[in-house]
């Protein structure tokens, strides 16, 4: 069976999905799995595209001590148990920097460029590129495609992407990039299927999960975003601070004597919902808790979403629809209800019954701002990009190379 593998690698887990390419760009999800507990309590889990369990296997820590070992273990299982022959691998890469505004076939030069952006996404970039580096060495003949969370936002105007600092920094790449682009690209496409008239108008999409951001869409294109140079800016997240006065950071460095590394660790790993609540970074745990700090964390999260909705509505010149997506946006009826209340001044009329029922439309019929819940699928987006890029390149290659790529 010939298929595309999609990889989303983190520090202690590697998520993967397998898509059958037999029907061309009409992809069929075969397997969804992950290797987690890398280096501590490694475990391989996988299920079919329709949710049936396939495997749950535990390993000794030294058997899967790092991300490349996790990739090798998952790959061996796929070959042995399912006779899957990989045509290509698509990777989620958080930061493409100023170089990449679309998916790209990875070679040594591309990898070197991506490594320059590790400091801009320290939670994600090192882990995103680790399997790419490993596979370039072990399987150089296997095409790898990097798909960037920043690429979808490269349509922004210069006035949107600039910071008010000396211009030479912008030319060097210090600018507002925006993230979660693969999610927003998928959501924009789904909305055009669900409500084509609305999708072409003024839409705010809110990717609310452990990482959280919001994006202003017009005619399905990104025109502004809450995230900027790094994935720290904007909304508070599970463990990330979101927007913060730069003076606070200067104070921590100069008056508190904190090192740059300590400040970075605090902003990325000890802040956000976790820092405010003192309990957890997981919204499910916060909703179930009665701790006094939890109420502040949830209030703050909702408050900032409301503030940024106003900002993005101003960027759009009004608002016709608001879309909830990602883990919290798709699953927390309470957060959706509280955010919808914040959108009332923009003309949103909320339908609590539809919200509790988990409907895709949670606004009243006469609402001036339509409210949608659209589950995201970044992995499918990556698979589509991977197949599309290889198909384009195959058309320019020798027929033997086309047969090698697509059988």
Structure-token match 């507990």, residue found:
37
Tell me what pLDDT residue 37 has.
86
Rg (CA), the chain: 22
| Residue 106, SS3 per DSSP | coil
- Residues 164, 168, 169, 174, CA torsion sign: positive
358-386 burial string, b = 16+ CB within 10 Å, else e?
eeebbbeeebebbbbbbebbbbbbbbbbb
pLDDT of residue 24: 53
Query: Which of helix, strand or coil describes residue 371?
Result: strand
Q: What is the pLDDT of residues 196-232, one digit of tens each?
A: 999 999 999 999 999 999 999 999 999 999 999 999 9
Residue 231 half-sphere exposure toward CB, CA atoms < 13 A: 31
Whole-number pLDDT of residue 395: 56
* Range with the poorest average pLDDT among 129-133, 318-322, 365-369, 390-394: 390-394
- Please say if the pLDDT value at position 284 is more than 80: yes
Of 293 and 319, the structure prediction assigns the larger pLDDT to 319
Give the pTM. Answer: 0.90
pLDDT of 239 > 70? The answer is yes
The structure tokens listed for 181 are: 């682009």
Q: Which residues contact 157 (CB under 8 A, 6 or more apart)?
A: 223
DSSP single-letter state for residue 225: E
**With 50 as the cut, is the pLDDT of residue 29 above it?**
yes
Which of 244, 250, 193, 240 minimizes the C-alpha distance to 220?
193
**pLDDT (0 to 100) of residue 15:** 87
- The tens digit of pLDDT for each residue in 349-376 reads 999 999 999 999 999 999 999 999 999 9
198 token code pair:
């609305």
**149: annotated active-site residue:** yes
In this structure, the number of other CB atoms found within 10 A of the CB of residue 157 comes to 10
Residue 117 predicted with pLDDT over 90: no
Mean pLDDT (the chain) is: 90
Chain Cα centroid distance, residue 377: 9
Give the closest residue to 8 by CA, choosing from 88, 112, 94, 109.
94
pLDDT at 75: 82
Give the burial class of 21: count Cβ atoms within 10 A of its Cβ; 0-12 exposed, 13-18 middle, 19 or more buried.
buried
Least confident of 6-15, 67-76, 211-220, 387-396: 387-396
Q: Check residue 396 and give its pLDDT.
A: 42
Instruction: Please tell me the distance from the alpha carbon of residue 309 to that of residue 75, in angstroms, as a whole number.
Output: 43
Structure tokens, 117: 């952006």
- Percent of the chain that is helix, strand, coil (3-state, to 5): 45, 20, 35
What token pair was written down for 125?
Answer: 């970039």
**Which pLDDT score, from 0 to 100, does residue 405 have?**
36
Q: Which of 36, 149, 161, 233 is catalytic?
A: 149
Burial class (CB in 10 A: 0-12, 13-18, 19+), 239: buried
Q: Check residue 398 and give its pLDDT.
A: 36
Judged against a pLDDT cut of 50, whether residue 402 lies above it is answered with: no
- The 8-class DSSP code of residue 366 comes to T
**Which three-class secondary structure state does DSSP give residue 264?**
helix
Check residue 116 and give its pLDDT.
85
Q: Which two tokens stand for residue 325?
A: 């997506």
pLDDT tens, residue by residue, 55-94: 999 999 899 988 888 888 888 888 887 877 788 999 999 8
Cα dihedral 17, 22, 27, 31, rounded to 10, equals -20
Centre a 10 Å sphere on the Cβ of residue 37 and count the other Cβ atoms it contains: 17
């Amino acid at each position: 069976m010939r298929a595309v593998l999609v990889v989303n690698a983190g520090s202690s887990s590697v998520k993967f999905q397998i898509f059958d390419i037999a029907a061309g760009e009409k992809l069929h999800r075969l397997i969804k799995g992950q290797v987690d507990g890398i280096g501590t309590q490694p475990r391989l889990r996988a299920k079919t595209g329709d949710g049936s369990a396939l495997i749950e296997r535990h390993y000794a820590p030294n058997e899967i001590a790092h991300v490349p070992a996790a990739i090798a273990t998952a790959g061996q299982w796929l070959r042995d148990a399912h006779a899957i022959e990989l045509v290509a691998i698509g990777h989620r890469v958080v930061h493409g920097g100023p170089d990449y505004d679309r998916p790209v076939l990875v070679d040594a030069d591309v990898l070197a460029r991506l490594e320059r952006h590790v400091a801009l996404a320290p939670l994600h970039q090192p882990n995103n590129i680790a399997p790419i580096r490993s596979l370039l060495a072990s399987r150089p003949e296997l095409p790898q495609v990097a798909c960037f969370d920043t690429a979808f936002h490269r349509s922004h105007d210069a006035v949107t992407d600039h910071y008010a600092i000396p211009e030479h920094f912008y030319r060097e790449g210090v600018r507002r990039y925006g993230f979660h682009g693969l999610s927003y690209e998928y959501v924009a496409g789904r909305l055009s299927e669900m409500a084509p008239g609305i999708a072409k108008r003024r839409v705010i999409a809110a990717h609310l999960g452990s990482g959280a951001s919001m994006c202003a869409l017009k005619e399905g294109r990104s025109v502004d975003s809450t995230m900027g140079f790094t994935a720290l800016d904007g909304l508070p997240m599970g463990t990330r601070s979101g927007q913060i006065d730069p003076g606070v950071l200067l104070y921590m460095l100069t008056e508190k004597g904190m090192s740059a590394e300590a400040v970075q660790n605090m902003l990325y790993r000890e802040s956000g919902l976790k820092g405010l609540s003192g309990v957890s970074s997981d919204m499910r745990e916060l909703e179930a808790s009665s701790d006094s700090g939890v109420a502040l964390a949830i209030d703050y999260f909702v408050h900032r979403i409301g503030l940024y909705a106003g900002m993005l509505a101003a960027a759009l010149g009004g608002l016709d629809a608001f879309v909830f997506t990602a883990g919290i946006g798709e699953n927390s009826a309470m957060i959706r209800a509280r955010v919808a209340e914040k959108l009332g001044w923009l003309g949103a009329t909320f339908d609590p019954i539809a919200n509790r029922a988990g409907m895709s439309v949670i606004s009243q019929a006469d609402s001036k701002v339509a409210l949608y819940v659209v589950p995201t699928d970044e992995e499918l987006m990556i698979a589509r990009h991977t197949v599309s890029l290889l198909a384009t390149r195959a058309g320019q290659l020798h027929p033997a190379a086309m047969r090698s790529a697509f059988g």
